Copies of this chain bind each other. A is one copy, B any other.
Amino acid sequence: MRFTIRRDEFVKGLSIASRAVASKTPVVVLANFKLEIDEEGLVIIGSNYDLSIRTFIPFRIGENEIIRNYKEGSTLLNAKILLEIARKMESDELTLEIVDSTIAAISDNRSKYTLNCIRPEEYPDLDLESEGTTLNMTTAEFGLMVEQTAFAASIKEQRPVLTAINLEAREGLLTATTTDSARMAKKIMTVPEDINFNVNVPAKMMSEVAHLLEGSASVEIAVSQKKALFSFGRTLVATRLIAGDYPNTSNIIPRVTNHVLEVNAQDLVKAIDRANILSIDRENIVDLSMSEEGIEISAKSSQVGSAVERIEMFRYEGAPLTISFNSEFVVAAVRALSSEDVTFSFVGEMKPFVIKNSADDSIVQIVTPVRTY
């Protein structure tokens, strides 16, 4: 195996595949990249089993020769070290060559590195074949869906299914749902009528895919029983699914609400952020007091003092109401709506409340109040 490659493209490919390589892994061989060059180009694979990334570098991109002087073959090389060497080298091109089956030489005109390598047969077989239902989305749609939902997934592993984004395609609608039991985000988009699936994709991996997607126009998603596969550009990402039924969240969104508050998102977020300085005794818990006369955010610490913030511009309908909530949850929900104005709808003091983008019905955020007495 041998090739001379443009360093910038090599670093780009290694960086993509490295997103799947865990810094510490119990399966030692997965600390390596699998590199494989044949008559089509160079394939780089990184994996931690849960997430696998395969990316491809062709011999030419447009007018530019990317790889030259190659000899077919494949090997496994320490991912962290190889990426760091390639990143820090200074020439436009570098050459990688397997000297004998156990040593790879990486060199340019001033640097020469030799790395112990492992036979490619040691690498596990990864299932990277596309199968099941496929669905196309633009990068913008996919990114917004992840941004508006992923943050509300649980980060605790006790109920693994809650660490996922539940993706359900049915009757022409794709619904992305996340909940950590105390809050929920639900995004609804239209898809072709014949697409049907219901899977739980780890939220962290959806965010990882959204990050990798930057720069591509669209993504093809293939969903099967055991995995979701995302293809874009010259890269393919496979993530395992989380088994188990996602909780039924259809009854959480209240049908009738008694109090409605419309407010500027920035004003609200800044007021909550300030009042939060004093939410020391019960971390992050602030009070929202509403009446047609005025809106106040407040927090109190018996040791340190208290904060009262007035919101100047608002529209409120309903009887006076005071609600206590986790300020981080509300701020994250409001930010995810990416709207100038947001609308809160309340049923009562201890009932989950709804936050919506005043101009976009496709996304709804739900937060459960906390008891403060």
A residues near B (Cβ < 8 Å) are 78, 81, 84-85, 88-90, 103, 110-116, 270-271, 273-274, 277-278, 303-312
Contact = CB atoms under 8 A, between A and B. Distances in A.
Contacts of A88: 270, 273-274, 277
A308 B111 contact: yes
B90 A305 contact: no
B111 A274 contact: yes
Contacts of A304: 78, 81, 115-116
21 contacts: A78-B304, A81-B277, A81-B278, A81-B304, A84-B277, A85-B274, A85-B307, A88-B273, A88-B277, A90-B270, A103-B305, A110-B309, A111-B309, A113-B278, A113-B305, A113-B306, A113-B307, A113-B308, A114-B306, A115-B304, A116-B305
Nearest to A306: B114
A302 to B, nearest CB: 9
A259 to B, nearest CB: 22
Contacts of A309: 110-112
A154 to B, nearest CB: 29
- Minimum-distance CB pairs A-B, first 8: A115-B305, A88-B274, A112-B308, A114-B305, A84-B277, A110-B310, A113-B307, A114-B306
A311 B109 CA distance: 11
A115 B280 CA distance: 13
Contacts of A115: 304-305
Nearest to A309: B111
A85 B277 contact: yes
Contacts of A90: 270
Nearest to A90: B270
Nearest to A107: B308
Instruction: Among A103, A270, A305, A310, find the residue whose CB has the most chain B CB atoms closer than 10 A.
Output: A305
A182 B115 CA distance: 31
Contacts of A310: 110-112
Nearest to A310: B110
A88 B81 CA distance: 43
A116 B114 CA distance: 64
Contacts of A274: 85, 88-89, 111
Given A111-B308, A112-B308, A114-B306, 18 more contacts: A78-B304, A84-B277, A85-B307, A88-B273, A88-B277, A89-B274, A110-B271, A110-B309, A110-B311, A110-B312, A111-B307, A111-B309, A112-B309, A113-B307, A114-B305, A115-B305, A116-B304, A116-B305
